[in-house]
Amino acid sequence: MSRTLLLKHNRFMERRTPIRLPKESVDTNESYFETSILTHAKKRFAWLLFLMLSATITGTIITKYEDAFSAVPLLVSFIPMLMDTGGNCGSQSSTLIIRGLALDEIQFRDIFRIMFKEFRIALLVGTGLALINGLRIFVMYRDPQLAFVVSLSLTATVILSKLIGCTLPLIAKKLHLDPAIMASPLITTVVDTSSIIIYFYIATRIFACN
């Protein structure tokens, strides 16, 4: 009985939203427990391999800016905070967009309206987080320049991550991919790499002027 209800629910959701799951993605008609471990692994391996290889870019970028580490060792300690905040912001936006797509509330044609709205949200959120974090850094380290670099990087990271988070699910839908499978992990990888580039670009520019 429960199996029949699940299949009916899945067919209803397929009619409700035009999102298509790729063959290598998750088939919602398949039971989690009835699907073999090997099948689960095969479906997830390709994306995880791609994302793992993409993540090596972050290490390459960090290596490139070793001189900045030497000049201001404290810069390294803020990398996890920037990457985590960016990833969380991107995930927030993508979750809302994926839900909107599933409910047929959002269409690809709305992409620019969504981007403009998310930009304004990100500007408010990023500014608030940057002010609090900048004050914290200044109180702890008495270094206004460091506080400015981290705060400016944080604001830029929040804005970029929210824009990425709201656009990738829409692009995934347009390409007939499952946003939940493709967009969420890809957002983390793209945001991590972007936040590192932004951070060290701003840091090298500002500290080089002194």
pLDDT band at 162 (very low <50, low <70, confident <90, very high): very high
Number of Cβ within 10 Å of residue 184's Cβ equals: 19
State residue 90 phi and psi, 5-degree precision: -65, -40
Q: Residue 126: give the domain boundaries.
A: 2-208
- H-assigned helices in the chain: 2-16, 37-64, 66-71, 79-102, 111-141, 144-174, 179-208
pLDDT at 6 > cutoff 80: no
**Distance of alpha carbon 113 from alpha carbon 12, whole angstroms:** 28
Residue 209: the pLDDT is: 62
Average of per-residue pLDDT values in the chain: 81
pTM of the predicted structure, to 2 decimals? 0.75
User: Please, is 88 exposed, middle or buried when counting C-beta atoms within 10 Å of its C-beta (0-12, 13-18, 19+)?
Assistant: middle
Least confident span in 23-37, 120-134, 146-160: 23-37
Residue 160 sits in a domain whose CATH number is: 1.10.357.20
Is the separation of the CB atoms in 57 and 193 below 8 Å?
Answer: yes
pLDDT digits (tens, 9 = 90+) for 26-81: 444 457 788 788 887 877 787 778 777 777 777 777 777 777 677 678 888 999 99
Residue 30: the pLDDT is: 58
pLDDT at 5 > cutoff 60: no
pLDDT band at 186 (very low <50, low <70, confident <90, very high): confident
The total number of structural domains that make up the chain: 1
pLDDT at 96 > cutoff 50: yes
Three state DSSP letters for 49-85: HHHHHHHHHHHHHHHHCHHHHHHCHHHHHHHHHHHHH
